[in-house]
Chains A and B, each alone.
Chain A
Amino acid sequence: MPTVVVMDVSLSMTRPVSIEGSEEYQRKHLAAHGLTMLFEHMATNYKLEFTALVVFSSLWELMVPFTRDYNTLQEALSNMDDYDKTCLESALVGVCNIVQQEWGGAIPCQVVLVTDGCLGIGRGSLRHSLATHSQRSESNRFPLPFPFPSKLYIMCMANLEELQSTDSLDCLERLIDLNNGEGQIFTIDGPLCLKNVQSMFGKLIDLAYTPFHAVLKCGHLTADVQVFPRPEPFVVDEEIDPIPKVINTDLEIVGFIDIADISSPPVLSRHLVLPIALNKEGDEVGTGITDDNEDENSANQIAGKIPNFCVLLHGSLKVEGMVAIVQLGPEWHGMLYSQADSKKKSNLMMSLFEPGPEPLPWLGKMAQLGPISDAKENPYGEDDNKSPFPLQPRNKRSYAQNVTVWIKPSGLQNPNAEIFLPLIDRCTEDFKKCKEIT
């Protein structure tokens, strides 16, 4: 899930914060401190996250486009200037554009808005935006809800009392509501100081940036893994079952199926399954990403030489052209497979099916899948030339029946257009050629 950090650089962020016995801080310093902490956390525990940095006042600017290089982000944080007033709406429009250009409309994104709770004045202020919200037309739609799945986290460089003294909190809460309730507001507990900012960002990290660790199991063969990005809770039907489903931390393989049989199934999301070495305290030793750090490097090397089930599974899935069906929870399944990117690197990937007893009609009910050894004769045939899949639906669809083909009057009078055949034979020729080449 990519992250967009939206940083308020209006003048109000330069308001000083009195801290006893130390040099003077401004709110923007507190904000930068918190973001540094977030970036550092990502650099060590959430390395694959793409993050972009946007600053805004009455205008907005993309300081750092989506990157995994946290040094660049850090550098940009220390090179920020101060500008004029806060104008949140235009910044949110900017976020919409940036995300849609980069990722399209289907990939969920997290937007971390860092502001001081001063929402601007006059035209373009949040109050103004919200007041005119109901009078919008298609062309100047309010940017929320974001046109992509999203979480909006608002980090306020102010404490609750300060926000409640004006209507700021209400306005910010409206924003979350407008984003269909997806998101949360964080405020500083107690006086404004570095420590309390840290604890506020710590809460955000706990909520949104803790790596998802799980155990991959196939009978007695197991491996500790990190699943990236974190699988999000999923609501099946708001009305009947409004409680979001969460995946197990035990990912249990239940069996295997050929790629041809599973045939490009629709999935909710895709995740990398990275083997990790956990030491006794439960800390990570290596996530499989090389680092300049020497200690980590040697730890990685040791971990690299210990046989790991993920690597075995990945190798065999790739060679055999199969997927492993994995149970994620009650009536929730997914599949593990080998995924190669263009650079010839390949990886173990997990896709989540939609929860339910029958996510793929052509496999039938998941609970009804059993081992081939229980069948009277091998459903895959002695020479592996058959397959029990796909299952046939009980009723034929209208187009699968022997339909009477009607011809329009115009068609009849033009004998040339009487009978059509798709180019099946041409395709067969192509196959032959392909075979000859390979």
Chain B
Amino acid sequence: MKIFSESHKTVFVVDHCPYMAESCRQHVEFDMLVKNRTQGIIPLAPISKSLWTCSVESSMEYCRIMYDIFPFKKLLMAALAAVGPPNPRADPECCSILHGLVAAVETLCKITEYQHEARTLLMENAERVGNRGRIICITNAKSDSHVRMLEDCVQETIHEHNKLAANSDHLMQIQKCELVLIHTYAVGEDSLVSDRPKKELSPVLTSEVHSVRAGRHLATKLNILVQQHFDLASTTITNIPMKEEQHANTSANYDVELLHHKDAHVDFLKSGDTHIGGSSREGSFKETITLKWCTPRTNNIELHYCTGAYRISPVDVNSRPSSCLTNFLLNGRSVLLEQPRKSGSKVISHMLSSHGGEIFLHVLSSSRSILEDPPSISEGCGGRVTDYRITDFGEFMRENRLTPFLDPRYKIDGSLEIPLERAKDQLEKHTRYWPMIISQTTIFNMQAVVPLASVIVKESLTEEDVLNCQKTIYNLVDMERKNDPLPISTVGTRGKGPKRDEQYRIMWNELETLVRAHINNSEKHQRVLECLMACRSKPPEEEERKKRGRKREDKEDKSEKAVKDYEQEKSWQDSERLKGILERGKEELAEAEIIKDSPDSPEPPNKKPLVEMDETPPVEKSKGPVSLLSLWSNRINTANSRKHQEFAGRLNSVNNRAELYQHLKEENGMETTENGKASRQ
């Protein structure tokens, strides 16, 4: 549907003439308990509504459905409540429907907010914004010629107003107007006006006439019209189990009919080969598609492949089954709907779900997927790498979640700040230095660095932040003085890992890279770097001594980028070499497996379980002739096991795999996710 189609603007004109105060003569029995009543009391007489009441009620129902389904971009003009019931004694001449129609045309010429917005946006193409509308006039006409007179009047008024609008910036010419005349009369009377299908009176105006009895008939008519005007279709949810209060153990099944945009049925229309032509329109709207309720079993949060979501409105909003269904959904539950098939196979085609107080009918795809049997991500680029920092990136994602900022904020220079741009900014800052795999990094494997790493990415630092960063750095200096082991990768060395002082040099380099990436954020970031540089600077002779014998590593100093790339590259060469050596040396299977599982990292260090590094005891001395590998892995294992309590997950793990976030499952009933599966499958 075009945004500015006839349905963009609808004006209701309800006749307020004395005749409308007459009874619709459809009786409403309201004295229901007559059977149980004791004898002798005179039953109350049935009542009936006036024509005016019927018209207003039906119009309101039309509006209700429309507003439920199109809360935006569709406008209605109706100012009924203020008018009050018509006065039967008023002079018929002074409240002619003609004034209403003229006012309606006038209103259609006015530019709506949406049109204005679109015109401003399109600039020179503003003429693309259409101005069409619909006038629904509920009246009591005297004859066919009276109807013609009304039509002529509208025609003429449009003509006049278009002339006016052509010379005005605040008005738009009416390109197309649909006049829907509804002639209503009391039940039991004969209609003096005949029905007439849609007819083009002029290029601008089309008109149709409906002659309807008042009361229930008028309401039904407007219900059909709202469906036609706004391209709606109807779905009946069947088999909804509801308990009855008096029989709490049994449940009965009820049906609820909903209205929604007809695109929600697009699959049925196409596959069912029911191409609705213009002629059979009337009939097709009474059809409803039946979908079966599937009682939800779990609260699993799943991402369905949904091709459309359409707002709904119950046909009988006041009926008990309807309100039960809507309340159930509004409480946050989703319901899958099944398409009844002759073959008996079960096809879920729709889902009802509420999002913040609005109920949507989701269309789920039930046909074969063109993306079936895709290559798994583990078979593609990067699929063989097993030590991605999955958990760390998960943490990163949680820190970079989005939230709505509804109040506008302004930058210092007074321009409007776009929250989404702020989000991109933050991602940029947070990823300036972010190694993707565990073996590429030392500092992110160290609990001791966390206080610095988590604040340095911020746009601005507080004094406290700076203090914390400095503390972190002093702590690291302390660790170096005590010669504590680091969770450093063995990549880049042959056989044996780098010496302790070398490890610290790599760690300091990496830390410097991280801090340097952020020094332009603020002067306080600069101070953190200054502190870092001051702390790591060594007496010249010591530095000199260190440099000797490992010139190879000096290349790393060149630039941050080079550090990463170089290490990465080397890691491949070296791990391949290492594997070669292993095969030749016919190492024990168990040992080979350690290598295979994590080709380039020691025991994947986990950030959280690490306790104070300071408490680490000195490393064990080597005993006897053992292979380099077992020597190294024994050392690391003992060192690791002493400096922390065993990770609870590892203690309970099966095949070295522990289930993460078990508490989540308990809380939400979420599906379990296997640890590390994503990276290893």
Contact = CB atoms under 8 A, between A and B. Distances in A.
B362 A423 contact: no
B620 interface: no
B122 A48 contact: no
Most buried by B among A104, A106, A141, A311: A311
A407 B243 CA distance: 17
Given A265-B309, A321-B670, A366-B420, A409 B32 contact: yes
B64 interface: yes
Contacts of B270: 100, 104-106, 147-148
Contacts of A374: 405, 419, 422
Contacts of B327: 422
Q: Is the interface of A mostly helix, strand, loop or mixed?
A: mixed
B317 A403 contact: yes
Interface in A282-307: 286-290, 301, 303-307
A122 interface: no
A316 B393 contact: yes
Interface string A13-31: 0000000000000000000
Given A288-B383, A346-B681, A254 B393 contact: no
A170 interface: no
A275 B381 contact: yes
Interface stretch (B142-150, B180-188, B350-358): B350-358
Contact of A420 (B243, B378, B420): B243
A371 B404 CA distance: 9
A337 interface: yes
Interface stretch (B328-336, B481-489, B579-587): B328-336
A286 B68 CA distance: 51
B419 A434 contact: no
Interface stretch (A35-43, A76-84, A200-208, A217-225): A217-225
Contacts of B402: 254-257, 325, 369-372
B405 A370 contact: yes
A216 B68 CA distance: 39
Given A103-B370, A321-B301, A405 B320 contact: yes
Contact of A367 (B297, B306, B418, B432): B418
B3 interface: yes
A232 interface: no
A183 interface: no
Interface string A257-298: 111101111110011101111000000001111100000000
Given A406-B319, A431-B669, A304 B404 contact: no
Contact of A260 (B301, B365, B429, B665): B301
A288 B381 contact: yes
B577 to A, nearest CB: 14
B679 interface: yes
Interface stretch (A151-159, A161-169, A188-196, A357-365): A357-365
Given A345-B376, A423-B241, A423-B251, A255 B427 contact: yes
A288 B388 contact: no
B324 A312 contact: no
Contacts of A404: 318
A392 interface: yes
B341 interface: no
A307 B377 CA distance: 12
B432 A105 contact: no
B245 A319 contact: no
Nearest to A358: B72
Residues of B in contact with A, size category: 35 or more
A265 B311 CA distance: 13
A372 B326 contact: no
B428 interface: yes
B401 A257 contact: yes
A397 B357 CA distance: 8
Contacts of B297: 427, 430, 434
Nearest to A225: B381
Nearest to B356: A390
Contacts of B4: 239-240
Given A345-B374, A371-B423, A267 B428 contact: no
B368 interface: yes
A317 B397 contact: yes
A240 B370 contact: no
A348 B432 CA distance: 24
Interface in B112-133: 118, 122, 128-130
Interface string A324-353: 110100000000011101011111110100
Interface centre among B246, B319, B382, B388 (most CB of A within 10 A): B382
A266 B363 contact: yes
Contacts of B244: 416-421
A277 B381 contact: yes
Given A301-B384, A311-B385, A254 B423 contact: yes
Given A424-B328, A427-B296, A316 B32 contact: no
B669 A304 contact: no
A390 B356 CA distance: 5
B228 interface: no
A396 interface: yes
Nearest to B367: A104
B325 A290 contact: no
Contact of A400 (B357, B390, B394, B424): B357
Contacts of B319: 405-406
Interface string B37-75: 000000000000000000000000000100110010000
A438 B424 CA distance: 39
B156 interface: no
B362 A264 contact: yes
A310 B382 CA distance: 8
B317 A399 contact: yes
Contact of A406 (B318, B368, B371, B401): B318
A395 B71 contact: yes
A375 B431 CA distance: 21
B43 to A, nearest CB: 14
A138 B277 contact: yes
B307 A229 contact: no
A106 B307 contact: yes
B545 interface: no
A309 B403 contact: no
Nearest to B371: A272
Contacts of A147: 270, 273
Contact of A104 (B271, B328, B394): B271
A101 B318 CA distance: 42
A312 B390 contact: yes
Contact of B68 (A239, A270, A341, A398): A398
A1 interface: yes
B266 A419 contact: no
A307 B436 contact: yes
A370 B128 contact: no
15 contacts: A1-B370, A218-B431, A266-B307, A288-B377, A309-B436, A321-B670, A338-B678, A369-B405, A369-B420, A372-B403, A373-B426, A379-B403, A399-B68, A399-B313, A422-B243
Given A239-B4, A390-B356, A412-B32, 6 more contacts: A307-B382, A319-B660, A395-B71, A400-B330, A403-B323, A416-B247
Interface of A: 1-2, 48, 50, 100, 102-107, 138, 141, 147-148, 218-221, 223, 228-229, 237-241, 252-260, 262-267, 270-272, 274-277, 286-290, 301, 303-325, 327, 337-339, 341, 343-349, 351, 361-375, 379-380, 384, 388-393, 395-400, 403-407, 409, 411-413, 415-427, 430-431, 434-435, 438
Interface of B: 2-4, 29, 32-33, 35, 64, 67-68, 71, 118, 122, 128-130, 240-247, 251-252, 254, 266-267, 269-271, 273, 275, 277, 295-299, 301-309, 311, 313-314, 317-328, 330-331, 333-334, 351, 353, 355-359, 362-363, 365-368, 370-385, 388-391, 393-394, 396-406, 418-420, 422-424, 426-432, 434, 436-437, 440, 458, 568, 572, 660, 665-666, 669-670, 672-673, 677-679, 681
CB-CB nearest 8 A-B residue pairs = A308-B382, A288-B380, A370-B419, A105-B270, A219-B431, A104-B367, A390-B356, A315-B678
